[in-house]
Amino acid sequence: MSGAPSSSKFVRLAAVAAGLVAIMLVCPGCSENDAAQRRDADARPAVEPVSGGTFRLVTEAPASLDPILSQSVYEGLPVNQLFDGLVELDPSLHVMPALADTWTISPDGRTHRFHLRDGVTFHDGSVLTAGDVVFTFKRLLSPGNAANSLAGPYAMTVSGAEEFSSGKAVDLSGVRALDDRTVEIELLYPSIYFLEVLSMDGLRIVPEKVIREIGEEAFGREPVGTGPFQMGRWLDDSLELTANPDYFRGAPFLDGIRIGFLPLSENVDYGLGQFLKGELDMVEPGTSKISGLKGCPGVSVRNYQELGLSFLGLGTGNPPLNELEVRQAIAHAVNRDALVAASPEFRRPSIGLVPPGMNAYSPDPKALPYDPDLSRRLLQEAGYGPANPLPPISLLNTARSAAALGTLASVRKDLAQVGIRLDVRQVSWSELGEAITAGKAPMFLLAWVADLPDPDVFLRGLFESGGASNYFAFEDDEVGRLLELGVRERNPMKRSQLYRSLERRILSQAPVVPLYHTTGVLSHRQEVHGLDPGPLGISTLPLEKVWILEEEGGS
């Protein structure tokens, strides 16, 4: 597994910050009367869903629509409409049947047997078989793919995965088709969250025949899945998906989805302008003008709890951040309460790494507390003080919004008060990703949203030694030991205790300073119904449940 992230994987982190871009536009003609009309509209009786219409939104262009290459929300949103997994997560993060209608688990927890639904077809009309499931696993775990997919590390619990992905074995022994409708998956050891792993983008089931015919690269541009929407057109400025009339759960209400493309630095401002003109159905607005949007007629604004964390990253291979006392001094210098107080509606205090709502979350504080005096003493212990000041530390910054720049200013002020100076460099997302990959990013502000509702995603994903998402060059034998114990433990109470110990160990070593947990926000036209964002973010929006009821004379 690569020790640093690719730039595309890094975009997944950027997606959270995209919602913090300042809105320079305001809703024209809003008034208290308009707000009252909007509240009246919200109170109208529910009506039956209707079919028709195209759901319009704008994001950054995806790099590929191949599920195993889904590294960001920009790929995840269309991938979730085009493909299905064996199982899925509902908005409450419970495992539900998808392509598999039933399954059994052996008493020792190692063998999972899945029965596929009858009559499910891919978009090309071919019938889903157990062979396609086996092919999907082999493709994900083939040499080169496992390390480059977000799902790869979590699928390595399958028996024979290590040998197969390293090229030492020609077959994947742990995944077998017992017949056309039955698949058996054997694990190296029991996993308490393997079913959740099966919901990840990288394990969406793909058709073996199509990929062998058109090739891997072409499949990323011409995807064929079983999902509620199928590929329409991929244009220079947009992606168009059309309803799948043969979807196994029934055709979606919408005729299609149109995703417009714009660079990340522009899409929120531009998108809001288009949204207020009625040219988009949904937008992720920035936080600075939410109160104004809430007074706009015909507009709904929704907050939702995300499994996300914003943090200050410290590159432990970069002097002086290779010194534990310096990292701990930084952690003790940052006033997290002040950051939350600056935007309390959209931020929650981070007492640790695991966000509220996730398995194994506990409310007891684990992060190093705000203590400027202790911070100064730690710097003195490291040999820094008035006679030998700490040299300025480079912080690579991508923030351009009022909210994100406010976070940066607050952190900078806190650090300056204990004698830590920052050399802030403005960079692009791609430049930041390249710097992290090269180990040349001493400090950086990022956010992380979970792919799974399990603490292993947060803790193994970011802090496993040599892991693809370990952006800090962080290595710690005790962390590695606790990670292995946590992933194998099946008793929920013991597992929670292990992860609390793991959080404390990681935070005591201070490769990151947790700042706050994020709250998602989106705005949509009131004609749009059935939009139900979940804690994994907009990439998992079930758009097959969305329908649009236009008023007479509406757009």
- Of 221, 250, 279, the residue at which a domain comes to its end is 221
Residue 55 falls within a domain, yes or no? Answer: yes
Identify whether residues 80 and 53 lie together within a single domain.
no
Evaluate if residue 306 carries a pLDDT over 90: no
Residue-level pLDDT at 456: 87
In angstroms, how far is the first alpha carbon of the chain from the final one? 49
Residue-level pLDDT at 438: 87
CATH code of the domain covering residue 280: 3.40.190.10
Residue range 370-414, pLDDT digits in tens? 999 999 999 999 999 989 999 999 999 987 767 788 999 999 999
Residue 401 falls within a domain, yes or no? Answer: no
The domain containing residue 238 runs over which residues?
15-62+224-304+520-548
pLDDT band at 452 (very low <50, low <70, confident <90, very high): confident
Residue 309 falls within a domain, yes or no? Answer: no
Give phi and psi for 415, each to the nearest 5: -70, -40
- Cβ atoms within 10 Å, residue 150: 23
Q: How do 299-314 and 393-397 pair as beta strands?
A: unpaired
- Of 170, 186, 221, the residue at which a domain comes to its end is 221
Residue-level pLDDT at 208: 98
**In angstroms, rounded to a whole number, what is the distance separating the alpha carbons of residues 494 and 283?**
42
Q: How many domains does the chain have?
A: 2
Note the maximum CA span of the chain: 76
Long-range interactions of 545-553: CB distance < 8 A, separation 24+: 545/252, 545/253, 546/55, 546/252, 546/253, 546/254, 547/49, 547/50, 547/51, 547/53, 547/253, 547/254, 548/50, 548/52, 548/53, 548/55, 548/253, 548/254, 548/281, 549/47, 549/50, 550/53, 551/527
- Do 122 and 116 meet the contact criterion of CB atoms below 8 Å apart? no
Nearest to 346 by CA among 287, 400, 289, 293: 287
Residue 127 falls within a domain, yes or no? Answer: yes
Cβ partners under 8 Å of residue 501, min gap 6: 482
Residue-level pLDDT at 13: 39
pLDDT band at 553 (very low <50, low <70, confident <90, very high): low
Report the SS3 class of residue 496. Answer: helix
Residue-level pLDDT at 264: 52
Identify whether residues 153 and 54 lie together within a single domain.
no
The rounded percent of the chain whose pLDDT value lies above 70 is: 88
- Cβ atoms within 10 Å, residue 407: 22
- Do 347 and 517 meet the contact criterion of CB atoms below 8 Å apart? yes
**In angstroms, rounded to a whole number, what is the distance separating the alpha carbons of residues 521 and 498?**
33
Evaluate if residue 249 carries a pLDDT over 70: yes
Identify whether residues 78 and 136 lie together within a single domain.
yes
Residue range 55-100, pLDDT digits in tens? 999 988 898 999 999 987 889 999 999 999 999 999 889 999 999 9
Identify whether residues 231 and 214 lie together within a single domain.
no
**In angstroms, rounded to a whole number, what is the distance separating the alpha carbons of residues 259 and 123?**
20
CATH code of the domain covering residue 79: 3.90.76.10
Identify whether residues 71 and 172 lie together within a single domain.
yes
Identify whether residues 91 and 212 lie together within a single domain.
yes
**In angstroms, rounded to a whole number, what is the distance separating the alpha carbons of residues 450 and 199?**
13
Evaluate if residue 3 carries a pLDDT over 90: no
Give the chain's mean pLDDT. Answer: 88
Q: How do 528-529 and 422-426 pair as beta strands?
A: unpaired
Identify whether residues 84 and 214 lie together within a single domain.
yes
Residue-level pLDDT at 466: 81
Residue 110 falls within a domain, yes or no? Answer: yes
How many angstroms separate the Cα of 103 from the Cα of each of 303, 348, 484?
A: 35, 38, 26
- Do 268 and 285 meet the contact criterion of CB atoms below 8 Å apart? yes
Identify whether residues 68 and 208 lie together within a single domain.
yes
Identify whether residues 196 and 268 lie together within a single domain.
no
Instruction: State pTM to two decimals.
Output: 0.83
Evaluate if residue 199 carries a pLDDT over 90: yes
- Of 221, 245, 269, the residue at which a domain comes to its end is 221
pLDDT, mean of residues 223-245: 98
Identify whether residues 101 and 192 lie together within a single domain.
yes
Identify whether residues 189 and 250 lie together within a single domain.
no
- Do 23 and 269 meet the contact criterion of CB atoms below 8 Å apart? yes
Residue 406 falls within a domain, yes or no? Answer: no
Residue 175 falls within a domain, yes or no? Answer: yes
Identify whether residues 111 and 205 lie together within a single domain.
yes
Residue range 410-450, pLDDT digits in tens? 999 999 999 999 999 998 877 888 898 888 999 999 888 88
pLDDT, mean of residues 473-482: 96
Tokens of 123: 């978009």
